[in-house]
Structure 1
Amino acid sequence: MIKNEKIKASEVQLTGVNGEDLGMMSRDEALALAKQLKVDLVCTSLMSSPPPCKLVGASKAKQEALQDKQKARKQEQGAKVKELRLTPHIEDHDLETKRQQAERILRAGDAIQFVVRIQGKEGAQAKALLESLLRDLKHAGSPRTGIQLSGKQAAVLVDPQ
Protein backbone atom coordinates (compact mmCIF):
# COMPACT_ATOMS: atom_id res chain seq x y z
CA MET A 1 0.00 0.00 0.00
CA ILE A 2 1.44 3.34 -1.06
CA LYS A 3 0.62 6.30 1.19
CA ASN A 4 1.08 10.06 1.25
CA GLU A 5 4.44 11.39 -0.08
CA LYS A 6 5.41 7.98 -1.49
CA ILE A 7 2.82 8.44 -4.27
CA LYS A 8 4.87 9.56 -7.29
CA ALA A 9 2.11 10.39 -9.81
CA SER A 10 1.61 14.07 -10.62
CA GLU A 11 -2.22 13.73 -10.78
CA VAL A 12 -4.58 11.40 -8.91
CA GLN A 13 -8.26 10.43 -9.09
CA LEU A 14 -9.42 11.21 -5.55
CA THR A 15 -12.17 9.61 -3.45
CA GLY A 16 -13.19 11.23 -0.17
CA VAL A 17 -13.35 9.82 3.35
CA ASN A 18 -17.02 8.84 2.97
CA GLY A 19 -16.62 7.42 -0.54
CA GLU A 20 -17.63 10.57 -2.43
CA ASP A 21 -15.84 11.24 -5.74
CA LEU A 22 -13.67 14.37 -5.52
CA GLY A 23 -12.42 14.10 -9.12
CA MET A 24 -9.00 14.63 -10.63
CA MET A 25 -6.50 16.82 -8.83
CA SER A 26 -2.76 17.20 -8.48
CA ARG A 27 -0.93 15.07 -5.93
CA ASP A 28 0.10 18.16 -3.97
CA GLU A 29 -3.52 19.37 -3.67
CA ALA A 30 -4.61 15.90 -2.55
CA LEU A 31 -1.84 15.76 0.06
CA ALA A 32 -2.79 19.24 1.34
CA LEU A 33 -6.43 18.15 1.61
CA ALA A 34 -5.37 14.98 3.47
CA LYS A 35 -3.29 16.99 5.96
CA GLN A 36 -6.15 19.45 6.44
CA LEU A 37 -8.57 16.60 7.24
CA LYS A 38 -5.88 14.78 9.31
CA VAL A 39 -6.15 11.58 7.25
CA ASP A 40 -3.87 9.61 4.91
CA LEU A 41 -3.82 9.67 1.13
CA VAL A 42 -3.74 6.02 0.02
CA CYS A 43 -3.15 4.79 -3.55
CA THR A 44 -5.50 1.86 -4.28
CA SER A 45 -4.05 0.75 -7.63
CA LEU A 46 -0.98 1.52 -9.71
CA MET A 47 -2.40 -0.09 -12.85
CA SER A 48 -4.31 2.92 -14.16
CA SER A 49 -3.35 6.42 -15.09
CA PRO A 50 -4.04 8.59 -13.14
CA PRO A 51 -3.92 6.26 -10.12
CA PRO A 52 -7.07 6.12 -7.98
CA CYS A 53 -6.43 7.34 -4.44
CA LYS A 54 -8.64 7.71 -1.41
CA LEU A 55 -8.60 9.63 1.84
CA VAL A 56 -8.50 7.18 4.76
CA GLY A 57 -8.12 7.61 8.50
CA ALA A 58 -4.68 6.43 9.73
CA SER A 59 -5.94 3.57 11.91
CA LYS A 60 -8.35 2.40 9.21
CA ALA A 61 -5.54 2.24 6.63
CA LYS A 62 -3.43 0.04 8.91
CA GLN A 63 -6.42 -2.19 9.64
CA GLU A 64 -7.20 -2.60 5.91
CA ALA A 65 -3.58 -3.49 5.17
CA LEU A 66 -3.58 -6.10 7.94
CA GLN A 67 -6.85 -7.61 6.69
CA ASP A 68 -5.49 -7.78 3.12
CA LYS A 69 -2.36 -9.56 4.40
CA GLN A 70 -4.44 -12.06 6.38
CA LYS A 71 -6.69 -12.81 3.39
CA ALA A 72 -3.69 -13.35 1.12
CA ARG A 73 -2.07 -15.69 3.67
CA LYS A 74 -5.26 -17.68 4.11
CA GLN A 75 -5.73 -18.06 0.34
CA GLU A 76 -2.10 -19.08 0.00
CA GLN A 77 -2.49 -21.87 2.58
CA GLY A 78 -5.60 -23.29 0.93
CA ALA A 79 -8.36 -25.28 2.56
CA LYS A 80 -7.68 -27.53 5.52
CA VAL A 81 -9.41 -30.84 6.13
CA LYS A 82 -10.90 -31.09 9.61
CA GLU A 83 -12.05 -34.44 10.98
CA LEU A 84 -15.26 -34.94 12.96
CA ARG A 85 -15.68 -38.30 14.68
CA LEU A 86 -19.06 -39.87 15.43
CA THR A 87 -20.58 -43.17 16.53
CA PRO A 88 -23.68 -44.81 15.03
CA HIS A 89 -25.52 -44.54 18.38
CA ILE A 90 -25.12 -40.76 18.73
CA GLU A 91 -27.87 -38.90 20.59
CA ASP A 92 -30.02 -36.40 18.65
CA HIS A 93 -28.71 -33.38 20.56
CA ASP A 94 -25.09 -34.42 20.04
CA LEU A 95 -25.74 -35.01 16.34
CA GLU A 96 -27.27 -31.53 16.02
CA THR A 97 -24.20 -30.04 17.74
CA LYS A 98 -21.87 -31.87 15.32
CA ARG A 99 -23.99 -30.71 12.35
CA GLN A 100 -23.77 -27.06 13.48
CA GLN A 101 -20.03 -27.41 14.04
CA ALA A 102 -19.63 -28.89 10.54
CA GLU A 103 -21.67 -26.06 9.02
CA ARG A 104 -19.44 -23.46 10.71
CA ILE A 105 -16.30 -25.18 9.42
CA LEU A 106 -17.66 -25.41 5.87
CA ARG A 107 -18.70 -21.74 5.87
CA ALA A 108 -15.17 -20.83 6.99
CA GLY A 109 -13.88 -22.50 3.82
CA ASP A 110 -12.37 -25.69 5.23
CA ALA A 111 -13.23 -29.25 4.20
CA ILE A 112 -14.56 -31.87 6.64
CA GLN A 113 -14.01 -35.58 6.91
CA PHE A 114 -16.74 -37.34 8.85
CA VAL A 115 -15.55 -40.58 10.44
CA VAL A 116 -18.01 -42.98 12.09
CA ARG A 117 -16.42 -45.73 14.24
CA ILE A 118 -18.18 -49.07 13.77
CA GLN A 119 -18.23 -52.28 15.78
CA GLY A 120 -19.74 -55.49 14.50
CA LYS A 121 -22.79 -55.02 12.28
CA GLU A 122 -23.23 -51.26 12.63
CA GLY A 123 -22.21 -50.52 9.01
CA ALA A 124 -25.77 -49.85 7.80
CA GLN A 125 -26.46 -47.47 10.71
CA ALA A 126 -23.20 -45.60 10.04
CA LYS A 127 -24.03 -45.23 6.35
CA ALA A 128 -27.55 -43.95 7.16
CA LEU A 129 -26.07 -41.46 9.65
CA LEU A 130 -23.61 -40.10 7.09
CA GLU A 131 -26.33 -39.87 4.41
CA SER A 132 -28.54 -37.83 6.75
CA LEU A 133 -25.61 -35.51 7.58
CA LEU A 134 -24.89 -35.01 3.87
CA ARG A 135 -28.57 -34.19 3.26
CA ASP A 136 -28.59 -31.66 6.11
CA LEU A 137 -25.35 -29.99 4.92
CA LYS A 138 -26.24 -29.93 1.22
CA HIS A 139 -26.56 -26.12 1.26
CA ALA A 140 -23.10 -25.60 2.87
CA GLY A 141 -20.99 -28.28 1.17
CA SER A 142 -20.85 -31.10 -1.34
CA PRO A 143 -19.28 -34.54 -0.90
CA ARG A 144 -15.89 -34.98 -2.58
CA THR A 145 -15.95 -38.75 -2.07
CA GLY A 146 -18.73 -41.25 -1.62
CA ILE A 147 -19.38 -42.94 1.70
CA GLN A 148 -16.56 -45.42 2.22
CA LEU A 149 -17.16 -48.40 4.51
CA SER A 150 -13.93 -50.08 5.51
CA GLY A 151 -13.34 -52.40 8.43
CA LYS A 152 -13.84 -50.41 11.61
CA GLN A 153 -15.04 -47.10 10.18
CA ALA A 154 -17.20 -45.34 7.64
CA ALA A 155 -15.99 -42.03 6.20
CA VAL A 156 -16.95 -39.29 3.76
CA LEU A 157 -15.11 -36.11 2.71
CA VAL A 158 -17.16 -32.91 2.28
CA ASP A 159 -15.88 -29.80 0.46
CA PRO A 160 -17.24 -26.29 1.10
CA GLN A 161 -19.29 -24.64 -1.65
Structure 2
Amino acid sequence: MQGVVRFYGLSTRQPEFYPFPRPEGSPAIALRNTSRDRERDQNRDQTRINDRIRVSPIRVIAADGEQLGVLPTEEAMSIAREAGLDLVIVAPGAKPPVCRIMDYGKYKYQQSKKQHKNQSHHTKTKEIRLRPKTGDHDIEFKVKQAIGFLKHKDKVQVCIQFKGREMAHVEEGHRVMAQVIELLAEVGKLESPPKQMGRRIMATVSPKAG
Protein backbone atom coordinates (compact mmCIF):
# COMPACT_ATOMS: atom_id res chain seq x y z
CA MET A 1 0.00 0.00 0.00
CA GLN A 2 1.43 3.32 -1.03
CA GLY A 3 1.08 6.41 1.12
CA VAL A 4 1.31 10.09 0.31
CA VAL A 5 3.17 12.54 2.59
CA ARG A 6 2.11 16.18 2.19
CA PHE A 7 4.56 18.94 3.29
CA TYR A 8 3.89 22.60 2.50
CA GLY A 9 1.71 21.66 -0.45
CA LEU A 10 4.24 19.23 -1.93
CA SER A 11 3.64 15.50 -2.10
CA THR A 12 6.11 12.66 -2.41
CA ARG A 13 5.39 8.98 -2.67
CA GLN A 14 7.05 6.62 -0.23
CA PRO A 15 8.04 3.12 -1.29
CA GLU A 16 6.08 0.22 0.16
CA PHE A 17 9.10 -0.73 2.25
CA TYR A 18 11.83 1.21 4.08
CA PRO A 19 15.09 0.29 2.28
CA PHE A 20 17.29 0.45 5.42
CA PRO A 21 16.45 -0.75 8.93
CA ARG A 22 15.70 2.17 11.26
CA PRO A 23 16.98 1.82 14.86
CA GLU A 24 14.15 0.97 17.19
CA GLY A 25 12.61 4.03 18.83
CA SER A 26 14.61 6.56 16.76
CA PRO A 27 12.66 9.57 15.43
CA ALA A 28 12.51 10.26 11.72
CA ILE A 29 13.63 13.87 12.30
CA ALA A 30 15.61 15.16 15.30
CA LEU A 31 15.07 18.85 16.05
CA ARG A 32 17.36 20.75 18.40
CA ASN A 33 15.60 22.58 21.18
CA THR A 34 17.44 25.86 20.69
CA SER A 35 15.67 27.74 23.48
CA ARG A 36 16.54 25.04 25.99
CA ASP A 37 20.17 24.95 24.82
CA ARG A 38 20.39 28.73 25.12
CA GLU A 39 19.01 28.62 28.64
CA ARG A 40 21.48 25.88 29.59
CA ASP A 41 24.41 27.95 28.22
CA GLN A 42 23.31 30.93 30.31
CA ASN A 43 23.05 28.81 33.44
CA ARG A 44 26.64 27.61 33.01
CA ASP A 45 27.89 31.11 33.82
CA GLN A 46 27.47 31.34 37.58
CA THR A 47 28.85 34.89 37.80
CA ARG A 48 26.76 36.99 40.19
CA ILE A 49 25.69 39.84 37.96
CA ASN A 50 22.84 42.38 38.07
CA ASP A 51 19.68 40.67 39.41
CA ARG A 52 21.73 37.69 40.63
CA ILE A 53 23.32 39.87 43.31
CA ARG A 54 21.31 39.17 46.47
CA VAL A 55 23.42 40.96 49.07
CA SER A 56 23.28 44.58 50.19
CA PRO A 57 25.09 46.88 50.80
CA ILE A 58 28.09 46.46 48.50
CA ARG A 59 31.31 48.34 47.80
CA VAL A 60 31.18 49.74 44.27
CA ILE A 61 33.91 50.52 41.74
CA ALA A 62 32.93 52.56 38.69
CA ALA A 63 33.81 51.55 35.14
CA ASP A 64 36.70 54.04 35.11
CA GLY A 65 38.09 52.67 38.39
CA GLU A 66 36.68 55.40 40.64
CA GLN A 67 35.74 54.21 44.13
CA LEU A 68 32.05 54.97 44.70
CA GLY A 69 32.09 53.65 48.27
CA VAL A 70 29.54 51.42 50.02
CA LEU A 71 26.08 51.68 48.45
CA PRO A 72 22.76 49.84 48.60
CA THR A 73 22.68 47.27 45.80
CA GLU A 74 19.59 48.83 44.19
CA GLU A 75 21.34 52.20 43.95
CA ALA A 76 24.43 50.62 42.41
CA MET A 77 22.28 48.77 39.88
CA SER A 78 20.54 52.02 38.93
CA ILE A 79 23.92 53.67 38.29
CA ALA A 80 24.95 50.72 36.10
CA ARG A 81 21.67 50.79 34.14
CA GLU A 82 21.93 54.53 33.50
CA ALA A 83 25.39 53.95 32.04
CA GLY A 84 24.14 51.02 29.95
CA LEU A 85 26.49 48.67 31.80
CA ASP A 86 26.38 45.70 34.20
CA LEU A 87 26.99 45.36 37.93
CA VAL A 88 29.31 42.42 38.60
CA ILE A 89 30.61 40.96 41.89
CA VAL A 90 34.41 40.77 41.66
CA ALA A 91 35.25 39.99 45.31
CA PRO A 92 32.35 38.05 46.88
CA GLY A 93 34.38 37.14 49.98
CA ALA A 94 35.06 40.74 50.98
CA LYS A 95 33.02 42.49 53.67
CA PRO A 96 31.03 44.04 52.16
CA PRO A 97 31.33 42.27 48.77
CA VAL A 98 33.02 44.33 46.06
CA CYS A 99 31.20 44.96 42.78
CA ARG A 100 32.37 46.66 39.61
CA ILE A 101 30.36 48.43 36.95
CA MET A 102 31.45 47.13 33.53
CA ASP A 103 30.41 45.88 30.12
CA TYR A 104 30.29 42.22 31.13
CA GLY A 105 29.84 40.91 27.58
CA LYS A 106 32.93 42.78 26.40
CA TYR A 107 34.86 41.64 29.49
CA LYS A 108 34.02 37.96 28.83
CA TYR A 109 35.05 38.30 25.20
CA GLN A 110 38.41 39.84 26.13
CA GLN A 111 39.06 37.13 28.75
CA SER A 112 38.19 34.39 26.26
CA LYS A 113 40.46 35.96 23.64
CA LYS A 114 43.31 36.24 26.14
CA GLN A 115 42.88 32.61 27.26
CA HIS A 116 42.84 31.40 23.65
CA LYS A 117 46.01 33.37 22.92
CA ASN A 118 47.80 31.87 25.94
CA GLN A 119 46.72 28.34 25.02
CA SER A 120 47.75 28.71 21.38
CA HIS A 121 51.25 29.98 22.22
CA HIS A 122 53.99 27.34 22.12
CA THR A 123 56.79 28.18 24.56
CA LYS A 124 60.23 28.46 23.02
CA THR A 125 63.64 28.85 24.64
CA LYS A 126 65.65 31.86 23.51
CA GLU A 127 69.30 32.42 24.38
CA ILE A 128 71.29 35.51 25.25
CA ARG A 129 75.08 35.30 25.39
CA LEU A 130 77.42 37.46 27.42
CA ARG A 131 81.07 37.49 28.43
CA PRO A 132 82.60 37.93 31.91
CA LYS A 133 83.85 41.38 30.87
CA THR A 134 80.60 42.53 29.24
CA GLY A 135 80.01 46.20 30.09
CA ASP A 136 76.89 47.59 31.75
CA HIS A 137 75.58 49.13 28.51
CA ASP A 138 75.77 45.80 26.66
CA ILE A 139 74.25 43.99 29.64
CA GLU A 140 71.30 46.40 29.59
CA PHE A 141 70.83 45.76 25.85
CA LYS A 142 70.83 41.97 26.34
CA VAL A 143 68.47 42.24 29.32
CA LYS A 144 66.04 44.36 27.30
CA GLN A 145 66.12 41.68 24.62
CA ALA A 146 65.46 38.97 27.22
CA ILE A 147 62.55 40.92 28.73
CA GLY A 148 60.95 40.99 25.28
CA PHE A 149 61.24 37.19 25.06
CA LEU A 150 59.76 36.70 28.54
CA LYS A 151 56.84 39.03 27.84
CA HIS A 152 56.16 36.91 24.77
CA LYS A 153 55.92 33.93 27.14
CA ASP A 154 59.20 32.36 25.99
CA LYS A 155 61.93 31.06 28.27
CA VAL A 156 65.38 32.63 28.28
CA GLN A 157 68.64 30.74 28.63
CA VAL A 158 71.39 33.01 29.90
CA CYS A 159 74.86 31.95 28.82
CA ILE A 160 78.14 33.43 30.10
CA GLN A 161 80.88 32.33 27.69
CA PHE A 162 84.55 32.20 28.78
CA LYS A 163 87.44 32.43 26.34
CA GLY A 164 91.16 31.91 26.87
CA ARG A 165 92.48 33.30 30.14
CA GLU A 166 89.01 34.45 31.24
CA MET A 167 88.67 31.06 32.96
CA ALA A 168 91.07 32.38 35.59
CA HIS A 169 88.34 34.80 36.72
CA VAL A 170 85.21 32.65 36.92
CA GLU A 171 83.85 34.92 39.65
CA GLU A 172 83.43 37.69 37.04
CA GLY A 173 81.15 35.41 35.05
CA HIS A 174 79.06 34.68 38.14
CA ARG A 175 78.86 38.41 38.87
CA VAL A 176 77.46 39.13 35.39
CA MET A 177 75.02 36.22 35.69
CA ALA A 178 73.73 37.46 39.06
CA GLN A 179 73.31 40.97 37.63
CA VAL A 180 71.26 39.66 34.68
CA ILE A 181 69.03 37.47 36.86
CA GLU A 182 68.34 40.39 39.18
CA LEU A 183 67.37 42.65 36.26
CA LEU A 184 64.99 39.98 34.93
CA ALA A 185 63.31 39.33 38.29
CA GLU A 186 60.38 41.65 37.58
CA VAL A 187 59.12 39.67 34.58
CA GLY A 188 60.81 36.28 35.04
CA LYS A 189 61.55 33.63 37.62
CA LEU A 190 64.66 31.49 37.90
CA GLU A 191 63.85 28.01 36.63
CA SER A 192 67.35 26.51 36.51
CA PRO A 193 69.99 28.07 38.80
CA PRO A 194 73.41 29.03 37.38
CA LYS A 195 75.54 26.00 36.62
CA GLN A 196 79.06 25.90 35.20
CA MET A 197 79.48 23.59 32.21
CA GLY A 198 83.03 23.69 30.92
CA ARG A 199 83.68 27.19 29.61
CA ARG A 200 80.09 28.29 30.17
CA ILE A 201 77.83 29.29 33.02
CA MET A 202 74.19 28.54 32.17
CA ALA A 203 70.88 29.49 33.79
CA THR A 204 67.27 29.41 32.60
CA VAL A 205 64.66 32.07 33.37
CA SER A 206 60.97 31.40 32.65
CA PRO A 207 58.16 33.98 32.34
CA LYS A 208 56.08 34.76 35.40
CA ALA A 209 52.48 33.60 35.33
CA GLY A 210 49.79 36.18 34.56
Per the normalisation by structure 2, the TM-score is 0.45
Determine what percentage of the aligned residue pairs are the same residue.
Answer: 20
Structure 1 outlier segments of 4+, above 4 Å? 67-71, 86-96, 105-111, 116-119, 125-129, 141-144, 158-161
For the pair shown, which has the larger CA radius of gyration, 1 or 2? Answer: 2
Structure 1 unaligned blocks of 5 or more: none
Structure 2 unaligned blocks of 5 or more: 1-46
Mapping for residues 40-119 of structure 1, pairs under 5 Å = 40-47=86-93, 51-56=97-102, 58=103, 62-63=106-107, 66=110, 70=114, 82-86=126-130, 96-102=140-146, 104=147, 108=151, 112-115=156-159
Distance 2:174 2:155 in 1: 17
Between the two proteins, the alignment pairs up a number of residues equal to: 148
Superposition RMSD on alpha carbons, in Å? 4.8
Distance 1:126 1:46 in 2: 57
Mapping for residues 7-26 of structure 1, pairs under 5 Å = 7-9=52-54, 11-17=56-62, 18-26=66-74
> 3-state DSSP class of the match of 2:88?
strand
C-alpha deviation, 1:51, in angstroms: 3.7
Distance 2:194 2:61 in 1: 53
Distance 2:76 2:114 in 1: 29
8 A Cα contact 1:15 1:23, kept in partner? yes
> 3-state DSSP class of the match of 1:145?
strand
C-alpha deviation, 1:81, in angstroms: 5.4
Per the normalisation by structure 1, the TM-score is 0.55
